[in-house]
Structure 1
């Protein structure tokens, strides 16, 4: 791994400090850990001190912290297979660490003899016993399924490996009034432009930062998103109002390689600085909700649905593989709910 971790006490709370050289991929990965925070004072990232995070960063791990020699070799082969399939470095690291946890648990058992029953035992005696999350369990299951697809001699029936039941968490959505307040909060045209692009096009923050001037097609009023999540290109419509804003922004900043560059010409804008922009906007507006950049994307999808856009188009615009992922927005759209009259009104 390219990072080290140790236990610390931060503001009277036990935390795990994670140290690594500044790297956009590692920053993106640490942000995916629930409760991850950046300390300006200590100049480091820190995460909650949980069994799951200790296991993830090899702090006070299981009594045997390494798989068997066979397990180590198999993990290396698995990494090579993932690379040949062109999985991202982030996914390779996540899956190989998840597989390692499973093979540590079965370090005394030959890989060829591991069965579906062993996955159930692992889930009960390790995942559930240590109160690890369903999302972490799901990550392990994904890694196990992929790994055993690459093994010739196995007793494992990959299709029968069961995954945990997903908790139905609704996406966080802001009203159009709240969105307007946030987008108008900054007087700095670059900051305003970045937040406006995320909402108006439903972008992930990484997609915004990867944008280049050539990806803006003003003739066709579209934005080309190259190599987005899942290595897919897609196009999204460009609002005429956004195009006008972009022209003003372009005159002032004259970007070269990336549409939004940091202090160094030709380099991408820093992901952490982008997070600060939304935080500063919230402070200026007085909105106390724990809004993140991804809330803007959720709000974009929900507002499209409420204005009558077909769910299939929204799926295309967001770049979702499955329509089931997009269907979650039907549960937060208030258009139909607002037409329902409460029986309380008739009392």
Structure 2
């Protein structure tokens, strides 16, 4: 004999099941999806899913799937924050899980199986022809979510991970970079765009810079807690240092090197993107230039000027030299000396 009732445990609807201490019964119960023992309650319990409610002949007010999913996503976000994941990773993973769970509005997350993941891959990702990188991000997010929040492992290996397309980074010529920087007439805007190019910074890195990170005595920029939670130092051009001094005299930033409209808050990423867009509109460059193009251009121009690839890897903060080697494929320095056989016709 057993008794079952609905309970609230750790902010979740659960079914508490009490039965005699019988190894056979315990073994059978543990095979049920989501079965757990609570030391504090001294009882076995299960998630209050539709199938479990029917099994134990219980009813409850239906929790809207979206509400239940939101609770699970919030738990996932809390975990990511506790592990000090970057804001970008937290945003990417939580949004990915939101899309995934919304696809299964008729189910709670504990009821989702390997077959459901495969169906999502076929009917959502592949059907919509989403990118290989998006698919890989989704797989990583799903794997971590179910391992941490639901404490079960899905056979993600059944989904064939795509090979990332070997696309080359977009770069600008030195002349094009100069055109963009010259087109930024506001000294703050010019300083931001110039610093991104001259130091090969990521967007998030420049927005996180503080005045104390500029070492004017040694002509260095100290980049703290960058991608991969690494610090690095980058040489600072004397021309940029002069520009930053002029900027500092006018704006006198306190907390962040480039502050937003509200004092002591960082400049917003979207605003910085608009700065580039405005500067670009004042040139004759007809390319969909992004802030990251300036970083790519910095690396390529260093390579073309003879800088060793190992130093470029350190300056960019790449973990692997293979990531940096991609710039050897976009550098035109050697290619320009290759003579086409067509010239001999």
Residue 185 of structure 2 corresponds to which residue in structure 1?
A: 187
Of 124, 127, 131, the residue aligned with 1:126 is 124
Cα distance change on mapping 1:67 and 1:278 into 2, 3 Å: closer
Counterpart check, 1:312 vs 2:310: yes
Q: Shift in Å at residue 180 of structure 1?
A: 1.4
Residue 331 of structure 1 corresponds to which residue in structure 2?
A: 329
Residue 301 of structure 2 corresponds to which residue in structure 1?
A: 303
Residue 284 of structure 2 corresponds to which residue in structure 1?
A: 286
Aligned-partner Cα distance in 2 for 1:270–1:92: 18
Q: Which runs of 5+ in 2 are unaligned?
A: 1-63
CA contact (8 A) 1:311 1:327 kept: yes
Aligned-partner Cα distance in 2 for 1:146–1:153: 9
TM-score normalised by length of structure 1: 0.70
CA contact (8 A) 1:226 1:233 kept: yes
Aligned-partner Cα distance in 1 for 2:252–2:151: 58
Aligned-partner Cα distance in 2 for 1:258–1:270: 12
Residue 212 of structure 1 corresponds to which residue in structure 2?
A: 210
Aligned-partner Cα distance in 1 for 2:266–2:245: 19
Aligned-partner Cα distance in 1 for 2:176–2:286: 11
Residue 226 of structure 2 corresponds to which residue in structure 1?
A: 228
CA contact (8 A) 1:95 1:140 kept: yes
Cα distance change on mapping 1:190 and 1:97 into 2, 3 Å: closer
Structure 1 segment 16-55 matched on structure 2, within 5 A: none
Residue 148 of structure 2 corresponds to which residue in structure 1?
A: 150
Residue 164 of structure 2 corresponds to which residue in structure 1?
A: 166
Cα distance change on mapping 1:96 and 1:189 into 2, 3 Å: closer
Residue 197 of structure 2 corresponds to which residue in structure 1?
A: 199
Q: Which runs of 5+ in 1 are unaligned?
A: 1-64
Aligned-partner Cα distance in 2 for 1:340–1:195: 34
CA contact (8 A) 1:68 1:108 kept: no
Q: Which range moves more in the overlay, 220-229 or 315-324?
A: 315-324
Aligned-partner Cα distance in 2 for 1:277–1:153: 45
Aligned-partner Cα distance in 1 for 2:163–2:332: 27
TM-score normalised by length of structure 2: 0.70
Of 263, 266, 269, the residue aligned with 2:267 is 269
Cα distance change on mapping 1:149 and 1:306 into 2, 3 Å: farther
Query: Stretches of 4+ moved more than 6 A in 1?
Result: none
Aligned residue pair count: 281
Of 245, 248, 258, the residue aligned with 1:247 is 245
Q: Shift in Å at residue 342 of structure 1?
A: 0.4
2:282 match: secondary structure: helix
Cα distance change on mapping 1:270 and 1:148 into 2, 3 Å: closer
CA-to-partner distance for each residue in 1:43-72, whole Å, 9 max, x for gaps?
xxxxxxxxxxxxxxxxxxxxxx94796x77
2:224 match: secondary structure: strand
What do you get for the CA RMSD once the two structures are aligned?
A: 3.0
CA contact (8 A) 1:112 1:153 kept: no
Aligned-partner Cα distance in 1 for 2:109–2:180: 56
Residue 114 of structure 1 corresponds to which residue in structure 2?
A: 113
